[in-house]
Amino acid sequence: MQPDSKADSQSARSFIEQARRAQIIDAAITTIADSGYSSASMAQIAKTAGISRGLISYHFANKDELIAQLVIKVYTDAGEYMGARVSTESTPAGQLREYIASNLDYMAVHPKGIIALVEIFSSGALANLPGIDASEGEEQSLAPVVEVFERGQQLGQFADFNPRFMAQALRNVIDGVSPHLSDPQLDLEMYKQQIITMFERATGAQHPSEEVPET
């Protein structure tokens, strides 16, 4: 009959802790997205979050740890969202289309996260980040796309090309959109269609259904 006040206060504290960490990560995302990685000092991030410098150090051991958590969060978020969307498709061509579409949709909803991620990646800051292996991360990022391409080629639904190169090219083209995310006039739908069409042509993608009518 007595509510577990201790567990309550503990979970409350844990909640506060989590909320603060999330708030700080959000402030870091905003700061990096708005001013670039090199201008994103701890002081600037604290200012954006409206808290003191020391509080960041209280919740994160390092700047490196903060950035690492930021990367993991955005990366995981985007990965979950895209993974769910891509898995609704079964054909390689459909998965390719959905991969592109879901990635751009995610960019539309969380533009700053994506901008920050690209800033961090392109600043070469990954090298120091604890628990983050840059080359392994790239591998993980590319692997699912490479697999889609390889399966498509085995099924004869994709033309001949180097799957790894094509996966890199796809990532480069998609990531190339992010610098424009700050532009209010950006037409993401147009980009989405252009990228889909471009890679359908580049891969020679054939949707199985398109071949059925032949018979």
Partner DNA sequence: GATGAATGAGTATTCATTCAT
Partner DNA sequence: CATGAATGAATACTCATTCAT
The answer to whether 29 and 112 have CB atoms below 8 angstroms apart is: yes
Output the CA–CA distances (angstroms, integers) from residue 149 to 66, 82, 94, 182, 198, in the order listed: 35, 17, 11, 31, 15
64 binds DNA (CB under 7 A): yes
39 binds its own copies (CB under 8 A): yes
119 binds its own copies (CB under 8 A): yes
Which residue, 80 or 187, has its beta carbon nearer to its own copies? Answer: 187
11 binds DNA (CB under 7 A): no
164 binds DNA (CB under 7 A): no
Tallying the residues shown for the chain, one arrives at 215
Could you tell me the smallest distance in angstroms from the CB atom of residue 88 to its own copies? 26
Residue of 16, 76, 130, 201 interacting with its own copies (CB under 8 A): 201
Residue of 28, 67, 93, 195 interacting with its own copies (CB under 8 A): 195
Output the CA torsion sign for 141, 201, 109, 40: positive
Window of 75-83, 106-114, 140-148, 160-168 that interacts with its own copies by CB under 8 A = 160-168
Q: Which of 114, 106, 103, 104 is nearest to 32 (CA)?
A: 114
Q: Which of 199, 206, 147 is nearest to 174 (CA)?
A: 199
Could you tell me the smallest distance in angstroms from the CB atom of residue 202 to its own copies? 4
172 binds its own copies (CB under 8 A): yes
Window of 1-9, 16-24, 37-45, 102-110 that interacts with its own copies by CB under 8 A = 37-45
Judged by CB under 8 A, the number of residues near its own copies is 33
Query: What angle in degrees, to the nearest 10, is found between the helix axes of 63-86 and 92-109?
Result: 130
Residue 157, Cβ density class (10 Å: 0-12 exposed, 13-18 middle, ≥19 buried): buried
Q: Which of residues 57-116 bind its own copies (CB under 8 A)?
A: none
- Cα atoms in the Cβ-side hemisphere of radius 13 Å centred on 75: 17
61 binds DNA (CB under 7 A): yes
DSSP 141: H
Binding site for its own copies (CB under 8 A): 36-39, 119, 122-125, 127, 159, 161-162, 165-166, 168-169, 171-173, 175-176, 190-191, 194-195, 197-199, 201-204
